Amino acid sequence: MDDIKTVIDQVKASLQEGKAEDEIFQDLHLLIGKDPEIDLQIADFLGGVPYPAIVSVLRRMLEISDNKKVRKGIKRSLYRLKSRGIPVDEVPREHGISVLHPLQAEPPQGFGSNYDFHGDRLLLLLIPHATRSWTVIEGVVSESGELLDFLGEETTRKKFKSFYGDLQRRNPFPFVEIDASYAGYLITQAYQTRLRMGRSSLQSYLRLKGEIEQVKKDYGKPLIYSLIQAGEVSENAWLLSKARDLLKSDFLHDWNIEEGLIRPYAEAIREAEESKIVLSHIQKEARFQEIYQQAITDIFSGERKHQIQRRLEETAYYLLKVNKEEEAKISLAMAIDLEKPLNPFQPNPFLQQLVIKSILVLLTEEKEKKAGEPSFIVKP
């Protein structure tokens, strides 16, 4: 009640000062629209104030109010003013609230997970409908950009929140919000990649293709470039020196080159380490570097380099969303550096550290496995 009295006093003072209706409406704006009973009391008070400016204020209130009782009270006040000689244009008749205020769907939402140790990530696209039901779309996308799996179903807000909460609890890292148009773009691109790779079409995707197409937009570059400018991180020597630290991050510690690809180079490192030929430390280190560079050239000369670049770009976006800004910039700097041709004399620092780490992990696992095997040597 005190708030209403204060606003009424402000309106009276504004009228006495000759203020325009816009200024008077601003005095009311912070109070109206929260409680229909308060709105009704204000409308009733204004109906007893015979000033032309009050007509405009009441009409503004009528435009923003969707409460039937309040709208009726506003019209009653306008009629009172008209009966007292204040000019009031004809107020349009109500034709039902559903016609004046059709149900509006909420905007779509997108979410994405971190890459798992397989190099896969889960994308979610949530498309609300005016009927209050939601279409929930799940797409599993591989490191190569292929749509591996796709599910889509209509559900309610309550069921989705329960599903999403369970998903967050089961995932070691949080999901982050992604622009829905970008999530839709990634899913459609992944489906096209799937077809280019000769995989079968997905009927579940085709059934919801129309809905996804309405949400998605085309992006020339990954979304991270709209949040971090390329020039801010490109050619930054300090960021490029942090490849090893990036791979130690909780969000990237599972990144390894698959065993089938890295094994020949791991065996070459082991052979150099166990060689009976006496090599100096410098010679041995030179041999190691030669093996690392050969691995980089053999494994990342083709499409795989582009794949790791896109994975670093998407990871940079994820890191930025979980408030790891420095790591996000390191990841993006590594991705931009991958635009250069492979250079054995100046290798991409991330690829080099990834090769070294993958070799070390494989050799360590084999050493531990061998140490755990029972010995069949009979001691004297």
Domain ranges (residues) in the chain: 2-100, 109-220, 230-372
Grade residue 26 by pLDDT with cuts at 50, 70 and 90.
low
Grade residue 75 by pLDDT with cuts at 50, 70 and 90.
confident
Q: Which two tokens stand for residue 44?
A: 């009733």
The model's pTM: 0.69
Mean pLDDT computed over 190-197: 95
pLDDT value at residue 378: 43
pLDDT value at residue 194: 95
Grade residue 8 by pLDDT with cuts at 50, 70 and 90.
confident
DSSP assignment, residue 276? Answer: S
Q: Among all chains, which residue has been given the structure tokens 């807000």?
A: 157
Grade residue 284 by pLDDT with cuts at 50, 70 and 90.
confident
pLDDT value at residue 370: 81
Rounded mean pLDDT of the chain? 85
Mean pLDDT computed over 156-166: 86
Q: Which two tokens stand for residue 106?
A: 């909420």
Grade residue 185 by pLDDT with cuts at 50, 70 and 90.
very high
pLDDT value at residue 71: 86
Q: Please provide residue 179's backbone torsions phi and psi, each rounded to the nearest 5 degrees.
A: -50, 130
Cα(51)–Cα(48) distance, rounded to whole angstroms?
9
Model confidence pLDDT, tens digit, residues 78-101: 888 887 777 887 665 554 443 334
Maximum pairwise Cα distance, the chain: 121
Q: Among all chains, which residue has been given the structure tokens 């939601």?
A: 134
Q: Which of 84-98, 219-233, 316-330 has the lowest mean pLDDT?
A: 84-98
How many other C-beta atoms lie within 10 A of the C-beta of residue 249? 16
Q: Among all chains, which residue has been given the structure tokens 């949400």?
A: 215
Q: Which of 62-76, 183-197, 223-237, 350-364 has the lowest mean pLDDT?
A: 62-76
Closest CA to 145 of 94, 102, 188: 188
Q: Please provide residue 170's backbone torsions phi and psi, each rounded to the nearest 5 degrees.
A: -85, -15
Cα(93)–Cα(100) distance, rounded to whole angstroms?
11
CB-based burial label for 207 (10 Å; 0-12, 13-18, 19+): exposed
More confident residue, 293 or 37: 293
Q: Does residue 273 surpass a pLDDT of 70? A: yes
Q: Which two tokens stand for residue 196?
A: 């280019």
Mean pLDDT computed over 163-170: 87
Model confidence pLDDT, tens digit, residues 341-369: 998 888 999 999 999 999 999 999 988 88
pLDDT value at residue 94: 54
Strands (E), the chain: 109-112, 121-128, 134-141, 147-155, 176-178
pLDDT over 90 percentage in the chain:
52
Give CA 303 to chain center in angstroms. Answer: 26
Q: Does residue 187 surpass a pLDDT of 90? A: yes
Q: Does residue 170 surpass a pLDDT of 90? A: no
